[in-house]
Amino acid sequence: MLMPEAINENELRQYSAVVLAFVGDAVFELLVRSRLVAHGQRKVKELHLDTVSRVKAASQAKMVQGLSSQLTEVEQEIFRRGRNAKTSPPRHADISDYRLSTGFEAVLGYLYLKGDMERLQYLANLALDNEDKPV
């Protein structure tokens, strides 16, 4: 994954949660795409449909259930800021799912911009591994 120049943590904590989620959304989609491609050759249309099904708000909300116990205090703060951010969800998304996914994406964006790829990968894998577990 392309590594950005790491942003100082104090400066990074001043970023809007929505900006962090904006970055986290792109990072999570790239991680999902990479994971799907690593599982073997498939048609691009199938890869696209599988990616969309995993990155949509409802799927992310299910994935992050129980993830909060794995977050550090700082990550929990970022998650809360993202979850509580004043945003307008897409018409097709449930508001509570959208807020949970925004919180998760804010944490991923924070970790990416901080340059903590190991922690980012750990949390993303944990969430993706939770995908098939019952809520």
Q: What angle do CA 62, 81, 104 make, to 5 degrees?
A: 30
* Residue 25 known to be catalytic: yes
Alpha helices per DSSP H over 1-135: 9-12, 17-38, 44-55, 57-63, 73-83, 95-114, 117-129
Residues 88, 96: Cα–Cα separation, whole Å: 12
Ramachandran class of 43: left when φ > 0, alpha when ψ lies in -120 to 50, beta otherwise:
beta
Residues 15, 93: Cα–Cα separation, whole Å: 25
**Residue for token pair 């990072």:** 27
Catalytic positions, written as ranges: 25
